Amino acid sequence: MQRLRHRTLVLLLTTAGLLLSGCARPAVGSAEDDPTRPVTLRFWHGWSQRSEVAAVDAAIARFERRHPNIRVMTTGNVTDETVNQALRAGGGATPDVVSSFTTDNVGQYCSSGMWADLDPFLRKSGVDKAAVFPKPLLDYSSYRGTQCALPLLADAYGLYYNRDAFEKAGITRPPRTMSEFAEAARKLTRRTAGGSYEQLGFMPGFRFYENSPERLFAQWAPTWFDADGTSRLAREPSTKRFLGFQRDLVTALGGYGPLERHRTTFGEEMSSQNAFRTGKVAMLLDGEWRGRMLKETGTDFRWGTAPLPVPDDQADAYGRGCLTGTVVGIAHSSRHQNAAWELVRFLTTDTDQVVAFANAIHNVPSTKAALASPALDADPAFRTFVGIAGDPHSVSVPPSANGGMYILALRDFAYDSEAGRVPDLDRGLRRLDRRIDDDTRQTAG
């Protein structure tokens, strides 16, 4: 998918602020409507590329043929901020069905009551959500027992690698463990006589493209919070191992300063000058959408895809990846919630629809049946990510009442850690936990 997947700090902070300021009681809607009666629904979504909007429109056309009494008016390129403002303001022009690319905020959508609880609709329709959706996708679309959203296609993060560079370095297969990964990154790195880089095996910096720390941290399958929602990163053993691994890799590849200077020479992530496409880096953490972009722009080398490596003591979990994606729900203020549910159910649970949409958008399907469908795009590079999405060891970043604030806190800390500005890691992690817990209390208050 050609839209930028990683959210900026400004966007996340703005969204969190809107949600925090919008904790007033949401407008009351109705689930007493007759979904067989003529009705017009408003569906707001974030897709904006021409091909993406065409895929959404095609899905709506299929739905309307099946439900001729329901007309759907779509509005695309809508941000979370716009949705939240509209739902707080209320009125007749608010959406009935809403979608979001920001799974980090699902905890706030559910706990604020802005998005309706879908469990009553699932039960009424006889939909067994655990049988339909992979567990990580259910995890990121619910919060503390409230299923206020459902997955609408997914993203899986894996490894892109330069096969020609691997062959030249004598590496016979993609790395499966973190020690193999570090060794491959060293072998694939070539320095110039002046000390710069001719080729970098892997760019470990957390500010590089899709390298947000939570995505690589997911390979350790950490427990982020205690049962009561308290941050436990300082007490989670894998936190120090993850940060230590990254710091060691930074050191092995030349140090933070030289790597950061080299990063500034890379082209834009979504351009034809992407550092992997131009051969400046030999391995890349990225999502399933990158494969289509590489094929459309072309490369001067052979490339392949594989799952990201896992810690050496979790070698049996190889195949795991970090999962996220788009979620869709019903606005609590909608007075046509039963009709809205018919649209949500069609978009998220109808196998033919999910497969068709996945093939068109080039995202991973979000149901077990669609993942196994023979009609799904058979491209081997794409199928790697289908396998990651279906792997029982794959994980998602957990929802929280403070939305993406805890992820922002981790990013800030990780930036300092990789730069060597955290002299006492244990003390720093305890301070990080306090920051996250303070943000959570502020949200609850």
Domain ranges of the chain: 9-155+323-396, 156-317
H/E stretch holding 338 reads helix 337-349
Q: Identify which of 413, 102, 6, 394 has the alpha carbon closest to the alpha carbon of residue 231.
A: 413
H/E stretch holding 358 reads helix 351-361
Residue type, 83: V
Q: How far apart are CA 72 and CA 42, in angstroms?
A: 6
Residue 402 dihedral angles phi and psi, to the nearest 5°: -95, 20
Q: How far apart are CA 338 and CA 142, in angstroms?
A: 20
Residue 358 has pLDDT above 80, yes or no: yes
Residue with tokens 């009709």: 339
Residue 330 dihedral angles phi and psi, to the nearest 5°: -110, 130
Under the banding of pLDDT at 50, 70 and 90, the label for residue 5 is very low
Under the banding of pLDDT at 50, 70 and 90, the label for residue 92 is confident
Looking at residue 441, its pLDDT comes to 87
Query: In CATH terms, are 9-155+323-396 and 156-317 the same topology?
Result: yes
Share of the chain above pLDDT 90, in %: 83
Residue with tokens 């992820």: 407
Residue 346 has pLDDT above 80, yes or no: yes
Determine the length of the chain. 445
Q: What digits encode the pLDDT tens for the residues 6-34?
A: 444 444 444 444 444 444 456 677 888 99
Residue 320 has pLDDT above 80, yes or no: yes
Residues linked to residue 98 through DSSP beta bridges, in sequence order: 44, 329
Q: What digits encode the pLDDT tens for the residues 420-436?
A: 999 999 999 999 999 99
Enumerate residues 6+ apart whose C-beta is below 8 A from 302: 162, 163, 164
Residue 85 has pLDDT above 90, yes or no: no
Q: Identify which of 257, 262, 283 has the alpha carbon closest to the alpha carbon of residue 191.
A: 262
Mean of the per-residue pLDDT values of the chain: 92
Higher per-residue confidence, 29 vs 327:
327
Looking at residue 440, its pLDDT comes to 86
The fourth-level CATH superfamily of domain 9-155+323-396 is Periplasmic binding protein-like II (3.40.190.10)
- Looking at CATH, the fold of the domain delimited by 156-317 is given as D-Maltodextrin-Binding Protein; domain 2 (3.40.190)
pTM as predicted: 0.92
Looking at residue 21, its pLDDT comes to 45
Count how many Cα atoms sit within 13 Å of the Cα of residue 182 in the half-sphere of its side chain: 17
Mean pLDDT lowest among 8-17, 112-121, 177-186, 341-350: 8-17
Max mean pLDDT range (14-28, 337-351, 402-416): 337-351
In the predicted model, what is the mean pLDDT of residues 170-187?
Answer: 98
Residue 43 dihedral angles phi and psi, to the nearest 5°: -120, 115
